[in-house]
Amino acid sequence: MEKTILINPATEEEIASYDRLSKSEATSRIATAHQTFQNWKKTSLDERITLMRKLADIFDQNKETYAKMATQEMGKTIGQARSEIEKCAMICRYYADNIHTLVKDDMVATEATKSYVTFQPLGVILAVMPWNFPFYQVIRFAVPAVMAGNTGVLKHASNVQGCAMALENAFAKAGFPTGVFTNLNIASDAVENVIENDHIVAVTLTGSDPAGRSVASIAGKHLKKTVLELGGSDAYIVLDDADLDKATDLATYGRLQNNGQTCIAAKRFVVLASIYDEFITQYTQKMEAATMGDPLDENTYYGPMARVDLRDELHEQVEETIAQGGRLVTGGKIPKQKGAYYPATILADLTPGMTGFDQELFGPVASVIKAKDEEEAIRLANNSQFGLGSGVITGDSLRGEQIALRLEAGNSFVNKLVASDPRLPFGGIKTSGYGRELAKYGIREFMNTKSIWIE
Ligand code: NAP
């Protein structure tokens, strides 16, 4: 029997191991999800709201347990893990409060006696999810999908299988019927078989570009809709009128939050030439002052990366960038200690063609880029295969807004780090993926937008 083995990235010790599902067990769970859908789609919005409020309470009641589980399985600091669980509860309540509006029929004036657009659930949705926000990423998909009347099956990242099981239990404890939300503990090479299953009507994947390409091509072959939330290398333009203390605070938190492993983290800082040296001086002081350590210690600013292999890949990208002419300002050395630790690192003077400019650095490494003026800064920011988030840091919000409108990304924020918010759609363009999550745009991705005409 194949097993999923969980390793604590802070200690490199085994936490637990779980048997993977066999092909027939996975098929049987998908059949249950399909069976459940036949009744679940007929439940009233108010019945769903009652259960969703219970799920929110379960997140509140189990905050400490869930947070510790996330920290031990993927290394995020305990304070940020608690915030993640609070955000899950918030999302449940947001959809409970707003579902009536989000899926309300749109009346359309035509020559008909009555014509309108209505939104109906599709069936069983497969979600392939990453480890970096092991509770929230799943909830961001599952809560709207289930509130819309769909059922969901989850293929979670292998290293956070404890969190995946906790999520399935949470839905059950809240009173959702068996099959509304189901965890499939399967390997990534078993995903193809799930997508091919006739009961699966659509697929959402949050993860890397290679995983997205693979899943989308299989789904395409079977004509099943996909939503892809992939990687990013978000550029933040720091203008010459920016408050540098604020800019470097944002840059430090942006690059070290979640131990540097957030899709929408600020990764490239495009800084105007007149403030470039001063930005680097202040930024270096702050990155060096941030404490790396045990993620369960309340005083730790950032912990280990999620896995040793991911840390080693990041280090290779750093070394490659330096070999290509990038300047190592601080960090850049693997510490001699147990755990997937990597120090806060700054690479400066990066230009297109260098690894640290072109690729996503999914860890605590910042890429700093010099631009001679505003126009060049916009060109450099947009010179990327990715288009997830982006930002402008400036003392003039109007100037910031004009630039934000020209950045090629799904989200562009002025004087604030991009963060997902259920009131606004979230997603990317270019190789950061397609489709949206959250807000009315997200919930409707997995609904049949249906026209009704009464002559
Ligand atoms: P990953 O390796 O692509 O894994 C994501 C999920 O896909 C996991 O469940 C993984 O399963 C599965 N998977 C991997 N290869 C697959 C394949 N060929 N077919 C089917 N499933 C496959 O990504 P990650 O390292 O966990 O996450 C980091 C990446 O995700 C970064 O690029 C980050 O920017 C991106 N991300 C994007 C968003 C967003 O909202 N846009 C949010 C978070 C993260 P196993 O664990 O079993 O391999």
423: in domain: no
Nearest protein Cα to ligand 1, atom 8: 157
**Residues 346, 384 within the same domain:** yes
The CA distance from 241 to 252, in Å, is 19
Residue 1 — pLDDT band, cuts 50, 70, 90?
confident
Question: Residue 140 belongs to a domain with what CATH number?
Answer: 3.40.605.10
Laid out side by side, the sheet with 389-393 consists of 327-330, 345-348, 365-371, 266-272, 234-238, 389-393, 411-414
Tell me if 131 sits within 8 A of 159, measured CB to CB.
yes
**Residues 142, 285 within the same domain:** no
The CA distance from 122 to 149, in Å, is 8
**Residues 376, 444 within the same domain:** no
Q: What is the tens place of the pLDDT at every residue in 84-136?
A: 999 999 999 999 999 999 999 999 999 999 999 999 999 999 999 999 999 99
> In the predicted model, what is the mean pLDDT of residues 196-217?
97
Question: Residue 249 belongs to a domain with what CATH number?
Answer: 3.40.309.10
Which residues lie below 8 Å from residue 188, measured CB to CB, with a gap of 6+? 128, 155, 158, 211
Q: What is the tens place of the pLDDT at every residue in 358-382?
A: 999 999 999 999 999 999 999 999 9
Domain span including residue 238: 234-414
Residue 376: active-site member: no
CA angle 80, 84, 88 (to 5 degrees): 170
- Work out the end-to-end distance of the chain between its first and last CA atoms, rounded to an integer number of angstroms: 60
76: in domain: yes
From the list 263, 360, 408, 437, the catalytic residue is 263
DSSP character string of 331-396? --S--SSSSS----EEEES--TTSHHHHS---SSEEEEEEESSHHHHHHHHH-SSEESEEEEE-S-
**Residues 444, 370 within the same domain:** no
Q: Residue 156 carries which side chain, given as an amino acid letter? A: H
Q: How many residues does the chain have?
A: 455
Ligand 1 center to 230 CA (angstroms): 8
Ligand 1 center to 206 CA (angstroms): 6
Tell me if 279 sits within 8 A of 48, measured CB to CB.
no
Residue 445: active-site member: no
Give the E-state strand segments of 141-252 in sequence order: 151-155, 181-183, 200-206, 225-229, 234-238
The total of structural domains in the chain comes to 2
268: in domain: yes
Lining ligand 1 with CB less than 6 A are: 128-132, 137, 155-158, 187-188, 191, 206-208, 211, 214-215, 229-232, 263, 360, 362, 388, 428, 433
427: in domain: no
> In the predicted model, what is the mean pLDDT of residues 230-244?
97
Dihedral sign of CA atoms 348, 352, 356, 361 in order? positive
**Residues 194, 207 within the same domain:** yes
The CA distance from 58 to 36, in Å, is 22
Give the pLDDT of residue 442: 97
> In the predicted model, what is the mean pLDDT of residues 139-153?
98
Q: Please provide the average confidence, as pLDDT, over all residues in the chain.
A: 98
Give the pLDDT of residue 324: 98
pLDDT value at 311 more than 90: yes
At residue 195, the 3 state secondary structure works out as helix
> In the predicted model, what is the mean pLDDT of residues 28-32?
98
